[in-house]
Amino acid sequence: MADADAIVVTGAGVLTSLGQAAQSWAAMRAGFSRIAEREDFHLLGPDEEFDLPSALTAAEAPPAWDGSHPWDRLVELALPALDEALESARLTRRAWPAAHVSLCLRTPSGGAAPAEMGRYVLEAMWTDGALPKPRAAAVRFEGHAAGAVAIVDAARALRAGERTCCVVGGAETFLDPEAVEALDRAFRLRSERSADGYLPGEAAAFVVLETATRAAERGVKPLATLAGYGLADEPRPLGSDEPCAAEGLCEAIRQTAARAGRGGAAGPPAAWVLSDQNGERHRAKEWALAVSRLHEFLDPGLELWHPAENFGDTGSASVPLLTAMAAETFRREAAPARGALLVASSDGPARAGLLLRGATGTGKD
């Protein structure tokens, strides 16, 4: 693939509990977080009958929740991140109707139909954001890895000339009482009865993807280049009767390395990884197994970032957020390596790897 046909990230925008892209990046690198107990959400005690409930610990994004419906909260989170991404990419309202949009969301709670939720959120975004409708818009519900699947789909369509501009994003909120209750009963949230659970967060993130040729025509300098990707299914995902052996994640990383090397040969070992790990034991075990089996693809001294430590678990927004944080790192010329390997594992079978490279001269050799 000629460099002119490379798929590049030309814009990125986020909203987390620590602010938008620049603030979130700086706070993350400084080790800050805004994760606190909430008085309005309570989790079960170790013994449901005799122990008192405990407060949910989570990271809330601004503005403070006013008790609105969770679907409206998603829109409230998404719009500032989308605005920042479009401004970053210098994508005008005139050009917006040509865009193809993919939005990643959590499967709705309470038995609501995913399609109904998707339509509601998209329509509210265009209305509340005073945006004309894009050429096409779709919603994905594949969990943590959904953003990677959407990015790969966008890259393929851009490379084939089927699209000129793609916007991929995700939005996540824990401010849904039914979802919190279900996760708590499944021992997924960290509490007095589940030390193995995770701390939920709120976030939205969007990235703008184009070909390098299109970006040059518009006079926009890319933030990063998509150098490789891999998608695979884990045969033993969460809830399986057999333990996960990291087969899917290993395959996704191998595919990513092969595409990055071009011609089938693996590129140099990844020295910088951004992961969607959130503190749950099964995720940590899966990553440890992958590392033990991928010596030729992972530098033994690699630098591992897991932003959930700062923002809480960001669910369906994970991959767009990781992409935006990597792009911001490249923009600031603060990358620990020329390439950033992004990895994500859904609760279901989807596993993904993306390799981003910064502009020439960014990142260490």
Rounded CA gap, 143 and 317, in Å?
A: 9
Which of 43-52, 203-212, 326-335 has the least mean pLDDT?
A: 43-52
Average pLDDT, the chain: 94
- DSSP for 141-168, written as a single string: --GGGHHHHHHHHHHHHHHTTS-S-EEE
Give the contacts of 288 (CB within 8 A, at least 6 positions apart).
none
Count other C-beta atoms under 10 Å from residue 48's C-beta.
10
Mean pLDDT calculated for residue range 84-107: 95
pLDDT at residue 263, as a whole number: 53
Q: How many CA atoms, within 13 angstroms, populate the side-chain half-sphere of residue 275?
A: 24
pLDDT at residue 124, as a whole number: 98
Alpha helices in 221-317, H assignment, sequence order: 247-261, 281-293, 308-311
Helix axes 318-331, 146-159, angle to 10 degrees: 70
pLDDT digits over 153-163, tens only? 999 999 999 99
pLDDT at residue 267, as a whole number: 67
pLDDT at residue 365, as a whole number: 44
Coil, helix or strand for 296? Answer: coil
Mean pLDDT calculated for residue range 147-152: 98
Give the contacts of 110 (CB within 8 A, at least 6 positions apart).
178
Mean pLDDT calculated for residue range 204-209: 98
pLDDT band, very low/low/confident/very high, at 3 (cuts 50, 70, 90) = confident
pLDDT digits over 289-321, tens only? 999 999 999 999 999 999 999 999 999 999 999
Question: Which residue in 259, 234, 247, 77 sits closest to 152, CA to CA?
Answer: 259
Quick one: residue 32, left, alpha or beta (phi over 0 = left, psi -120 to 50 = alpha)? Answer: beta
pLDDT band, very low/low/confident/very high, at 4 (cuts 50, 70, 90) = low
pLDDT digits over 323-337, tens only? 999 999 999 999 999
With 90 as the cut, is the pLDDT of residue 265 above it? Answer: no
Q: Is the dihedral of CA 179, 277, 187, 233 positive or negative?
A: positive
pLDDT band, very low/low/confident/very high, at 1 (cuts 50, 70, 90) = very low
